[in-house]
């Protein structure tokens, strides 16, 4: 077991050394071809890379959408995907897209000293909750900025137990005229953090929870990655 860990550690250092040598060669070529200005800009962009960790509990369609959005971004990248469910399909999506993924237990999450340390070691600047259902412990909130997306127009239809189909069922049952998404910062209570963006959509008389959910998902795919990018770029409402 210890030898396997040592081999894994050695492999990681080799990967880092190879990356550094490749980066050094690239800078040399750019400098000789274009001069010092492009060298400075290239170095600045690489050093300013912003790392995101995505937390998800389910299928991970939003997580995949976010990963694809930032795939070729000049200074934002999805570093890793984390899930509290060992069989969650989001872990397979991450693997398919070449993103490192982690499963964690309730115990590790509720006593998160090691998780927080690992995220900090990875230079995570932002945690994105993409269908993650557990309340974040204070240790995470104190250490990181965290963004969540909620499938309703907060403050209505928010709070503990209000997620996914439960939200859409309540909206349809109450004959609401509109619903939508709320993208917000995370604090120590469910769905009460500062709002970054709300986008509305109609609720039709013949809607079912499933048809409404499909409309909400489209809003999530269209607006969530851009809202993350805007936040990292300092474009914060208010």
Task: Convert the pLDDT of each residue in 39-60 to its tens digit.
Answer: 444 444 444 789 999 999 999 9
C-alpha 60/C-alpha 87 separation (Å) is 12
43 and 55 share a domain? no
138 and 208 share a domain? yes
DSSP single-letter state for residue 57: S
**Is 103 within a domain?**
yes
37 and 59 share a domain? no
For 187-203, the pLDDT digits (tens) are 988 889 999 999 999 99
Query: pLDDT-derived band of residue 28, with 50, 70 and 90 as boundaries?
Result: low
145 and 187 share a domain? yes
Q: Are 151 and 181 in contact (CB under 8 A)?
A: yes
Number of domains in the chain: 2
85 and 194 share a domain? yes
**Is 186 within a domain?**
yes
20 and 87 share a domain? no
C-alpha 214/C-alpha 210 separation (Å) is 6
58 and 38 share a domain? no
**Is 237 within a domain?**
no
Domain boundary among 47, 62, 83: 47
pLDDT at 160: 86
Q: Where are the alpha helices (DSSP H) in 35-149?
A: 36-47, 61-69, 89-96, 106-110, 113-121, 138-143
**Is 218 within a domain?**
yes
3 and 109 share a domain? no
C-alpha 55/C-alpha 122 separation (Å) is 15
**Is 90 within a domain?**
yes
Q: How many CB atoms lie within 10 A of CB 73?
A: 14
**Domain range for 21:** 1-47
Is the pLDDT assigned to residue 137 strictly greater than 80?
Answer: yes
22 and 59 share a domain? no
**Is 238 within a domain?**
no
For 90-133, the pLDDT digits (tens) are 999 999 999 999 999 999 999 999 999 999 999 999 999 999 98
43 and 147 share a domain? no
Residue in this structure with the two tokens 């490749």, named with its chain if needed: 22
* SS3 call for 29: helix
The pTM (predicted TM-score) of the whole model is 0.79
Is the pLDDT assigned to residue 148 strictly greater than 60?
Answer: yes
Active site residues: 150
pLDDT at 231: 95
60 and 29 share a domain? no
- List the helix and strand counts (H, then E) for the chain: 9, 7
Do the bridges between strand 76-83 and strand 100-103 make them parallel or antiparallel, or are there none, so unpaired? parallel
83 and 179 share a domain? yes
């Amino acid at each position: 077991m210890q030898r396997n860990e040592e081999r894994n550690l050695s492999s990681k250092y080799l990967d880092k050394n190879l990356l550094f040598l490749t980066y050094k060669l690239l800078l040399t070529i750019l400098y000789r071809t274009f001069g010092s200005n492009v060298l400075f800009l290239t170095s600045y962009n690489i050093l300013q890379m912003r790392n995101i960790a995505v937390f998800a509990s389910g299928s991970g369609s939003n997580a995949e959408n976010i990963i694809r959005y930032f795939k070729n971004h000049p200074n934002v990248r999805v570093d890793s995907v984390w899930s509290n469910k060992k069989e969650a399909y989001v872990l397979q999506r991450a693997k398919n897209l070449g993103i490192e993924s982690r499963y964690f237990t309730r115990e590790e999450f509720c006593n998160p000293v090691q998780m927080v340390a690992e995220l900090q070691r990875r230079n995570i600047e932002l945690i994105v909750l993409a269908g993650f259902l557990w309340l974040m412990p204070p240790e995470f909130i104190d250490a990181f900025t965290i963004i969540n997306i909620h499938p309703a127009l907060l403050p209505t239809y928010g709070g503990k137990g209000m997620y996914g189909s439960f939200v859409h069922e309540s909206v349809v049952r109450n004959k609401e005229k509109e619903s939508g998404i709320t993208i917000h910062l995370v604090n120590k209570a469910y769905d009460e953090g500062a709002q970054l963006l709300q986008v509305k959509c109609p609720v039709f008389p013949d809607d079912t929870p499933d048809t409404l959910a499909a409309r909400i998902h489209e809003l999530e795919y269209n607006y969530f990655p851009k809202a993350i990018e805007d936040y990292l770029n300092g474009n914060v409402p208010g």
